[in-house]
């Protein structure tokens, strides 16, 4: 996190700071999973496209 965010978090009461840290950790995990899904879906779509291009090429 940025220096400014860390400084702001230090000003929060302990309970709220912990809640915010937990929230940010969970959001990062979700973003990572979402990124992985999109990456692999893109790879699958690319392979499907290559297959279709190969089939179209064979028909010529």
Residue 12 DSSP code:
S
Tokens of 36: 């992985």
pLDDT tens profile 9-39 = 999 999 999 999 999 999 999 999 999 999 9
The better pLDDT of the pair 21, 58 is held by 21
Is the pTM of the predicted complex or chain greater than 0.85?
Answer: no
pLDDT at 60 over 80: no
Residues 6+ apart with CB under 8 A from 10: 17
CA-based R_g, the chain, Å: 22
Phi and psi (nearest 5°) for 2? -70, 160
Residues 6+ apart with CB under 8 A from 1: 9, 24
Find the mean pLDDT for residues 29-51.
95
Model confidence band, residue 2 (pLDDT cutoffs 50, 70, 90): confident
């Amino acid at each position: 996190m940025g220096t400014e965010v860390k400084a702001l978090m230090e000003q929060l009461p302990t309970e709220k700071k912990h809640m915010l840290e937990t929230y940010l950790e969970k959001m990062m995990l979700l973003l990572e999973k979402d990124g992985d899904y999109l990456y692999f879906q893109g790879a699958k779509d690319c392979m499907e496209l290559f297959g279709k291009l190969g089939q179209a090429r064979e028909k010529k």
